[in-house]
Amino acid sequence: MGECPVCGSEIELEDGVRENEIIDCETCGAELEVITLNPLTFEEAPEEQEDWGE
Ligand SMILES: [Zn+2]
């Protein structure tokens, strides 16, 4: 179990998730990067602004 750094709710990882993967917090919808698996820690993923307009 990890804790969402944004809303503080507990997060249960799906099987097969590795370090550096991006997961979504089911509670607040934040994108979180898996920093370490043991102990399980997350960091809020930087929002990538995709700008397709030119
Ligand atoms: Zn959250």
pLDDT tens for each residue of 20-42: 999 999 999 999 999 999 999 99
CA of 54 to the centre of ligand 1 (A): 34
CA of 5 to the centre of ligand 1 (A): 7
Residue 48 has pLDDT above 80, yes or no: no
User: Can you say how many angstroms the Cα of residue 53 is from the centroid of all Cα atoms in its chain?
Assistant: 28
> How many CB atoms are closer than 10 A to CB 11?
20
Exposure of 52 in the CB half-sphere (CA atoms within 13 A): 0
Which residues sit opposite 31 in a β-bridge? 24
Residue 50 has pLDDT above 90, yes or no: no
According to the model, what pLDDT value does residue 16 have?
A: 94
According to the model, what pLDDT value does residue 32 have?
A: 95
pTM of the predicted structure, to 2 decimals: 0.79
- 33, 3, 39, 20 alpha-carbon torsion, rounded to 10°: -10
CA of 50 to the centre of ligand 1 (A): 23
Pick the CATH number of 2-44 from 3.40.190.80, 3.90.600.10, 3.40.50.150, 2.20.28.160: 2.20.28.160
Q: Where are the domains of the chain?
A: 2-44
State mean pLDDT over 38-54.
84
Residue 31, phi then psi, degrees to nearest 5: -90, 125
By the CB criterion, residues less than 5 angstroms from ion ligand 1 are 4, 6-7, 25, 27-28, 30
- The tokens 């929002």 sit on which residue? 47
